[in-house]
Amino acid sequence: MIVWLENSILTKASISFRRLERTDFPLLQEWLSAPHVAAWWNEQLDLPGVEAKYGPRADGTEPTHMFVIEQEVRPIGWIQWYLWSDYPEHAAQLGAEPTSAGIDLAIGELSMTGLGLGPTAIREFVRRVVFSNSEVRAVVSDPQENNLRSLRAFEKAGFNVVRPVRITGEGCRRQVVRLDRSDIAPR
């Protein structure tokens, strides 16, 4: 039996990211439909719906950059990032500066939840991918306030909870979380 420790070298080394491809759409649809993901993403999409929404991201024609999270080369979820300057209305509600980025993710494989992979994926993705863009000064995200698993993952990854917010047109409250570039320990 393998026991995964959140901060273990093995766990960090075993998490990798690759660009989402159209061939991943059936798996993405499966993940979006999984009860533990659907509770927060609320996107019950059939395969044509996944194609319509996520095709432009996979093609690189939208400003959201989508990746598959792999653990030991096994796809376990997805993560995406974007510049808040590309989504100014949402950014303004969060207080996110134009030089900040946002991220969203889900561990789609239920058997891989609760193992500390979420915080590791967030931390390593921000370090390796998002902050590789030298213009990004901070990462700001907004998980739903009652999504305690997501909030804990962001906190364990080094994010600070800034404040609650209600996004226009949504019925739920969210928590703004933030990680500044200066808060990332150098390697």
Q: What is the pLDDT of residues 52-85, one digit of tens each?
A: 999 999 999 999 999 999 999 899 999 999 999 9
Radius of gyration in angstroms for the set of CA atoms belonging to the chain, rounded to a whole number? 16
The residues with which 26 forms a beta bridge, in sequence order, are none
Confidence (pLDDT) at 94: 96
Determine the topology of domain 9-133 in CATH: Aminopeptidase (3.40.630)
Q: Are 34 and 42 in contact (CB under 8 A)?
A: no
Distance, C-alpha 46 to centroid of its chain: 22
> 14-65, pLDDT tens digit by residue?
899 999 999 999 999 999 999 999 888 878 889 999 999 999 999 999 999 9
Residue 170's pLDDT is what? 87
Q: Which of 170, 178, 185 is nearest to 40 (CA)?
A: 170
Q: Rounded to the nearest 5 degrees, what angle is found at the Cα of 111, between the Cα atoms of 109 and 115?
A: 105
- In the chain, pLDDT over 70 holds for what percent of residues? 91
Query: Which tokens hold the place of 100?
Result: 């900040």
What are the boundaries of each domain within the chain?
A: 9-133
